[in-house]
Amino acid sequence: MPLSNLNKEQLSAATCPKGYNLIIASAGTGKTSTIVGRIANLINNNVKPEEILLLTFTNKAAAEMVQRVAKFFGKDVAKRIMAGTFHSVSYKLLKQLNINITLKQPNELKTLFKSVYEKRVFYDRDDEANPYDGGYLYDMYSLYLNSNTGEEFGIWIKDKNASHEIYTLIYEDVVDEFNALKIKYGYANFDDLLTIMLDTLKTQDFNFKEVLVDEYQDTNPLQGRLLDAFKPNSLFCVGDYDQSIYAFNGSDIGIISTFSSRYDDATVFTLRKNYRSTKPILDLATKVIEHNERIYDKNLEVMRTDETIRPKLLAFNELFAQYEYISKLISKSETPHDEIAIIYRNNSSADGIEANLREYEIPAKRKGGMSFFDSVEIKFILDVLVMQMSHNDMMAFIHVLEHGKGIGKAIAKDIFDALIKLGDGDILKGLFHPNPDINNPYDTKKVKNRQLGLFDDFLELGSVSKYKDCGFEEAFLSNPILKHPKLNVEGGKYIYDFYLLMKHLRRTKNPESLVSSISSSMMYSRLKDFLSTKRATAKDGTINPMQKTKSLAKINRKGMILKNLSKNFKELSKFINSMILGGSEMSEGDGVNLLSVHASKGLEFKEVYVIDLMDGRFPNRKLMSKGGSLEEERRLFYVAVTRAKDILYLSYAKFDRIKKMAFIASPFLREAGLVKDDEKTSI
């Protein structure tokens, strides 16, 4: 049984009475075993599995815990536990209530937001503060949803930056129009899942007997309000104050530090036995993190008694010499590649080390940069699939069309609106059987509102004669959508390819067949050529043929990966939702792990390299100036170091010859006692 494998501290926490319980679990102290033990204890005490809610930071972590429960109680019992991230659990519960949601990927709705924003003109400007651009405002709005405690968006913006008060009316109007469009089309992103769930819980009770929360220190105010909205009679929260590293995403470290004061009769348990790292590694991490204010004592006991290797500092005169030397070390290492991790504070650090690893023919997989599912080529396929379920999906339509030559987001949206008009509310009808009585689907009403930055004009129709030699089917050539005045011949051909593709895809609903058909279509071929050319184009405008070939091969490989994933699904809806909810956690390839600190959270490796430990990069002073803190940067360092089980290298460079920039060592290296102010030794 899970309980029999626990140490005294873990067992005490796992079997504690119901109530409000906080378990302080530092890195490597067995928090997963403790949570699984707690679930076992609940089931043993006649709590039904469906009465247990397990909230984790990743769906992968939830799956691992449920699988461990299944080993002892069977799959039928384990699968009845409601488990997953705040977002995936909210999605499942809302679906149970038959609440209609068209789920979009985290950044997908940014396109819609920007299309709304770009209609605004800022007539009155503050010389000291330019208005935020559309993308940044979208991110600010997301941060507002996750971190605010009830104030209006305009007030929140003003509190963040008083100089933007003159723009708040326009900002708020953009947000209002954006939200209205989301409601109109039934769209929801990850933030919306939580806000919709929060509203639902005002009238709906799910009667969970206990709610368990993993990585509690990374809970943001919105998630905290959602947690309270479940009205749990018993809470079991596991976390580590020193591993709170998501303030940029709205998480509030105060949620763990104030637990005892917020809940009556709260009990705090502490797990002190570390099973992961050797004593020298743990001593170094502890020595640095103790410079932060102590809320909970960190007196960890190292349980490993095997031979230890002291952490080693590598200092270099030049930045790229660092990457080359580390690549050389790894080439000689006896540690299997998948047990090696290179961890960095900023994604820019990954490019240099990845290139050097390639020179040494060392395979590497990169996580924590752009997700596989966020790449244009994969989003394209998924968006075409979305249109097979809901062909009037405006965002999917825009994403599919915007990469055609001369089209872009604005024209794509114009064409969508035109097809809706031509098809009496149905874009496929507008595409294949347009209303013959409508000659000008682009006619718009003139709108003026200086205060809100609005000014729309009529569109004058263009001529379709330029398409006469393109070989279009007569039915398509006569469609008024081709009359858009800014649509060029290449754009028209791209839309024609879309027309042919949608026509072809009517024949099947099988996910694998659909992915295969899209991947082999002319439209996708044009997209691949566009992307591979773009990615192979240098700053001077020249195209590297070899780079284009490599880029094209990568695109094709991604298509094959998606096709292989689709083989596991018979229903298109389940395939799409799985890709969206779990996409960011899936990775591809084998080899040395290249990880941002945030991406390394929860993982462990035999051999770890923490690179670019220069003041400015780690800690990241730029992010600190935008609302971060040295304390959070120090917690990031603590997380990076405690990923190492046996071997730890810390490295920094004194000069970047490309940027002609000098560096000094990170203050964390000084706090660890590895560097002195007069340090001169370099490799």
User: 666: how many CB neighbours lie within 10 A of its CB?
Assistant: 26
- HEC string of 521-532 equals CHHHHHHHHHHH
Q: Is the pLDDT of residue 571 over 90?
A: no
> What pLDDT is recorded for position 452?
62
Of residues 551 and 449, more confidently modeled:
551
Structure tokens at 276: 């992961």
The DSSP bridge partners found for residue 607 are 340, 647
> What pLDDT is recorded for position 177?
92
The tens digit of pLDDT for each residue in 373-388 reads 678 898 899 999 999 9
Q: How many distinct helices (H) and strands (E) make up the chain?
A: 30, 20
Q: Which of 420, 393, 445, 449 is nearest to 181 (CA)?
A: 393
Q: Which of 228, 232, 190, 231 is nearest to 91 (CA)?
A: 190
Residues 6+ positions from 678 with CB-CB distance below 8 Å: none
By three-state DSSP, how is residue 171 classified? Answer: helix
> Average pLDDT in the 474-480 region?
90
How many degrees, rounded to 5, is the angle at CA 391 between CA 387 and CA 396?
50
Cα 153–chain centre separation: 23
Residues 6+ positions from 272 with CB-CB distance below 8 Å: 9, 26, 29, 299, 300, 301
pLDDT band at 320 (very low <50, low <70, confident <90, very high): confident
Q: At what angle do helices 408-422 and 394-401 cross, to 10 degrees?
A: 130
Residues 6+ positions from 415 with CB-CB distance below 8 Å: 397, 401, 407, 481, 484, 487, 495
User: 564: how many CB neighbours lie within 10 A of its CB?
Assistant: 11
Read off φ and ψ for residue 55, nearest 5 degrees.
-110, 125
The whole-angstrom separation of Cα 377 and Cα 593 is: 24
The tens digit of pLDDT for each residue in 97-146 reads 988 788 887 667 888 888 888 878 787 776 677 888 888 899 888 888 88
Read off φ and ψ for residue 117, nearest 5 degrees.
-60, -40
User: 408: how many CB neighbours lie within 10 A of its CB?
Assistant: 16
Q: Is the pLDDT of residue 487 over 70?
A: yes
Structure tokens at 452: 């809100």
Cα 2–chain centre separation: 33
The DSSP bridge partners found for residue 314 are 651
By three-state DSSP, how is residue 323 classified? Answer: helix
The whole-angstrom separation of Cα 206 and Cα 137 is: 35
Q: Is the pLDDT of residue 269 over 90?
A: yes
The tens digit of pLDDT for each residue in 41-89 reads 999 999 999 999 999 988 888 888 999 999 989 999 999 999 999 998 9
Q: Is the pLDDT of residue 254 over 50?
A: yes
Structure tokens at 411: 């024209």
The whole-angstrom separation of Cα 346 and Cα 183 is: 36
Q: Which of 230, 322, 369, 271 is nearest to 28 (CA)?
A: 271
Structure tokens at 370: 């752009």
Structure tokens at 420: 């809706």
How many degrees, rounded to 5, is the angle at CA 421 between CA 416 and CA 427?
50
pLDDT band at 682 (very low <50, low <70, confident <90, very high): very low
pLDDT band at 651 (very low <50, low <70, confident <90, very high): very high
> Average pLDDT in the 193-213 region?
92
Reduced DSSP (H G I as helix, E B as strand, rest coil) percent helix, strand, coil of the chain, to 5: 50, 15, 35
By three-state DSSP, how is residue 98 classified? Answer: coil
pLDDT band at 356 (very low <50, low <70, confident <90, very high): confident
The whole-angstrom separation of Cα 301 and Cα 654 is: 36
The tens digit of pLDDT for each residue in 204-220 reads 989 899 999 999 998 88
Residues 6+ positions from 273 with CB-CB distance below 8 Å: 7, 9, 29, 30, 300, 301, 303
- HEC string of 271-327 equals ECEECCCCHHHHHHHHHHHCCCCCCCCCCCEECCCCCCCCCEEEEECCHHHHHHHHH
> Average pLDDT in the 657-679 region?
85
User: 46: how many CB neighbours lie within 10 A of its CB?
Assistant: 8
Q: Are 454 and 361 in contact (CB under 8 A)?
A: no
Structure tokens at 535: 């990615």
Read off φ and ψ for residue 511, nearest 5 degrees.
-55, -45
Average model confidence (pLDDT) for the chain? Answer: 86
The tens digit of pLDDT for each residue in 278-310 reads 999 999 999 999 998 877 777 888 888 888 899
Q: Is the pLDDT of residue 342 over 60?
A: yes
By three-state DSSP, how is residue 535 classified? Answer: helix
The tens digit of pLDDT for each residue in 577-636 reads 777 765 544 444 578 999 999 889 888 999 999 999 999 999 998 888 767 789 999 999
Q: Are 300 and 272 in contact (CB under 8 A)?
A: yes
Give the number of residues written for the chain. Answer: 683
The tens digit of pLDDT for each residue in 504-560 reads 998 778 899 999 999 999 999 999 998 999 888 876 778 888 889 988 988 888 888
> What pLDDT is recorded for position 448?
52
Structure tokens at 216: 């509690």
The whole-angstrom separation of Cα 507 and Cα 515 is: 13
Q: Which of 28, 592, 39, 642 is nearest to 323 (CA)?
A: 592
Residue-wise burial string across 72-101, b where 16 or more C-beta atoms lie within 10 A, e elsewhere: ebeeebbeebbbbbbbbbbbebbeeeeeeb
> What pLDDT is recorded for position 616?
92
Q: Is the pLDDT of residue 458 over 70?
A: no
Residues 6+ positions from 667 with CB-CB distance below 8 Å: 615, 619
User: 370: how many CB neighbours lie within 10 A of its CB?
Assistant: 10
The whole-angstrom separation of Cα 153 and Cα 164 is: 12
> Average pLDDT in the 259-273 region?
90
> What pLDDT is recorded for position 151?
80
